[in-house]
A = this chain, B = another copy of it.
């Protein structure tokens, strides 16, 4: 199915030097895809070597402004109506593109996307879902920081959105959903989580029940639901631990001539391990609950990582992710006898 991606070429730590080559690789791979490269034309053009081959499948849309990685959300929203980030959202809104992708400032991307696209009926707040590795495949976790004070109803909506995301991207019919909670016998979580568990149990989703932090990396469920504060802490803690472990291993292998020799021998194994959990292949966090598809790439993404986010966006568009979410929310409300 033909699909058109609107790519914010200016976002991320590397800007067009990463986003444009990734877009070209993506076009080579996906013969029925089209891209609209959005940003400062003079910054994009130097990276377009070989782009003529794609003909009309590649279009440049000049946008005169750029949202800074640390720019305040309010300033990005109010003062930069021709930013590349704003334009990709506008292109989804007016139907020119099927999905928007940006590696820019998360807060600004969420605020702009929400302002331009609006939320789906029955969704109170959009959420951010990320993908984490587990030994069996992938765990989808949301929310990742968009919502810090959540009501039980929000966690229910996250569950529905997460399940629809997995069904769209992984082609699983009835993905399992876990509610992130704590494990002590007689402490079964805070009041919000307890009530959210009841709502999820009655939701018609394939609700597994409570899961704990370690279940994220065991792959106990396809989806893990939590509020944005907890999700952000879990994600950042994981990043910190992974960095410490990898840094520690690297140091040990560099300690002496003998250990450097061991590193040489072990290199193919260590590389195989690295490939297996390569975080670049998990790049592309979904902004869910909007009337349109928006993906956030990691700011530090390289060409491979950014291309993975583009592939994910195309997959979400082909599988009509927002429509799936809207339909599930509507049928949920129908079953509950409430109106959206």
User: A305 vs B232: C-alpha distance in the bound complex, in angstroms?
Assistant: 31
- In this complex, what residue of B is CB-closest to A260? B269
A265 touches B268 (CB 8 A): no
Determine if A185 and B70 form an interchain contact, defined as CB atoms under 8 angstroms apart: yes
Q: List 25 A-B contacts (CB under 8 A).
A: A70-B185, A72-B186, A133-B244, A145-B183, A182-B232, A189-B229, A212-B232, A213-B236, A213-B239, A213-B240, A214-B240, A214-B243, A217-B240, A218-B240, A218-B244, A229-B230, A237-B238, A248-B273, A249-B273, A252-B270, A252-B272, A252-B273, A255-B269, A259-B269, A265-B265
Which chain B residues lie closer than 8 Å to A239 at the CB level? 213-214
Give the size of the chain A interface in residues (CB under 8 angstroms).
71
Please tell me how many copies of the chain the complex holds.
2
Q: State whether A237 touches B262 (Cβ < 8 A).
A: no
Please list the residues of chain A having a beta carbon within 8 angstroms of any beta carbon in chain B: 70, 72-74, 105-107, 111, 133-135, 145-146, 148-149, 180, 182-187, 189-191, 193, 212-218, 226, 228-230, 232-245, 247-249, 252-253, 255, 258-259, 261-263, 265-266, 268-270, 272-273, 276-277
CA distance A215 to B268 in the complex (A): 31
With both beta carbons as reference points, the residue of chain B lying nearest to A245 in the complex is identified as B245
Q: Indicate if the CB atoms of B244 and A241 lie closer than 8 Å.
A: no
CA distance A212 to B238 in the complex (A): 11
Q: Name which residue of chain B comes closest to A74, CB basis.
A: B186
Question: Which residue of B is nearest A194, CB measured?
Answer: B148
Residues of B within 8 A of A186 (CB): 72-74, 107, 111
Contact check, A135 vs B213: say whether CB atoms are below 8 A apart: no
Q: Which of B72, B106, B237 contacts A213 (CB 8 A)?
A: B237
Contact residues in B for A189 (Cβ distance below 8 Å): 148, 229
The answer to whether B244 touches A245 (Cβ under 8 A) is no
List of B residues within 8 angstroms of A241 by Cβ: 216-217, 238, 241-242
Task: Return A238 CB to nearest CB of chain B, in Å.
Answer: 5
Contact of A107 among B187, B243, B263, B269 (CB under 8 A): B187
**With A232-B213, A268-B262 in contact, is A191–B149 under 8 Å at CB?**
yes
Verify B237–A216 contact, CB threshold 8 A. Answer: yes
A189–chain B nearest beta-carbon distance, Å: 6
A230 and B181 CA atoms in complex are apart in Å by 9
Is the pair B234, A234 in contact by a Cβ cutoff of 8 Å?
Answer: yes
Contacts A230-B229, A252-B273 given; does A214 touch B237 at CB 8 Å? yes
